[in-house]
């Protein structure tokens, strides 16, 4: 399979994960919490493992251990920080009672679409370096999307959307990942897009360290903390095993 084929299949398959949110409707909240938080921990491990064990080392081989490489890692990190500040500003600009549910749901979709577009750039940039690195990025994004889609779908339902409308709009938002992958691929024919690999690594590090780990680190139960940590290590281990098949 050629590189474009890998990019299209991987980005589209991750977009399909948006439909997993419907499962949340049939789960008790306690069960959903038990499933979601270990998944969050595992995705944090997968994202960090993918960035630090595969993407950055491959970027060093492709670009060299230069200052420019680490600047792109920082740019990738900073872009998601800026994106979250922008989203946070919109969500907190008014008190919750002043927000109408419907506009907030569209804002969530728009922000998630932008996030997915950047993830598409990240996956494509990884496949453009090598199939192995692309598969690592693909797995890391998949691990991250599963718990995220539970949350996104819940926000839309809470915002008053019908189940079918929420599912399809969430999927359309996910398709922005395919668009990002296609754009990265065709730009690579005319421009050097090797910067996308350290840029994507910066994205993954930010999402893991700022979004995911804070969600699971405050439990007061030792058993719960151990489960979360074990899930985190599992995410890293899976990425390491995938890397062994290079």
Point out the least confidently predicted range of 44-58, 115-129, 138-152, 181-195: 138-152
pLDDT band, residue 104 (cuts 50/70/90): low
Q: What is the pTM of this model?
A: 0.74
Q: How far is CA 85 from CA 16, 91, 98, in A?
A: 28, 10, 20
> With the CA atoms of 167, 47, 225 and 238 taken in that order, what torsion angle do they form, in degrees rounded to the nearest 10?
100
Cβ-contact 20, 149 below 8 angstroms:
yes
Query: 168-213: per-residue pLDDT in tens?
Result: 888 898 899 999 999 999 998 888 888 888 988 998 899 888 878 8
pLDDT at 223 over 80: yes
* 3 state SS of 81: helix
pLDDT at 233 over 90: yes
Q: Quote the pLDDT of residue 246.
A: 57
Tokens 């230069």 belong to 66
pLDDT at 140 over 80: yes
């Amino acid at each position: 399979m050629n590189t474009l084929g890998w990019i299209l299949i991987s980005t589209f398959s991750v977009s399909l994960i948006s439909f997993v949110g419907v499962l949340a409707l049939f789960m008790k909240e306690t069960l959903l919490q038990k499933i979601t938080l270990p998944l969050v921990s595992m995705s944090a491990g997968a994202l960090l493992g993918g960035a630090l064990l595969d993407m950055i080392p491959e970027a060093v081989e492709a670009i060299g251990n230069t200052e420019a490489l680490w600047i792109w890692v920082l740019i990738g990190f900073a872009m998601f920080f800026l994106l979250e500040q922008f989203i946070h500003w919109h969500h907190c600009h008014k008190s919750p009672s002043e927000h109408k549910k419907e506009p907030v749901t569209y804002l969530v979709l728009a922000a998630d679409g932008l996030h997915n577009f950047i993830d598409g750039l990240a996956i494509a940039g990884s496949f453009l370096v090598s199939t192995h690195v692309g598969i690592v990025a693909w797995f890391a994004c998949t691990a991250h999307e599963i718990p995220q889609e539970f949350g996104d779908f819940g926000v839309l339902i809470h915002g008053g959307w019908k189940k079918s409308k929420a599912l399809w709009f969430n999927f359309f938002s996910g398709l922005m990942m395919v668009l990002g992958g296609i754009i990265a691929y065709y730009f690579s024919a005319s421009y050097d897009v090797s910067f996308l690999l350290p840029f994507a690594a910066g994205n993954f590090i930010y999402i893991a360290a700022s979004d995911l780990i804070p969600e699971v680190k405050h439990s007061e139960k030792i058993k719960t903390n151990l489960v979360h940590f074990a899930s985190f290590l599992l995410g890293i281990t899976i990425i390491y095993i995938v890397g062994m098949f290079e």
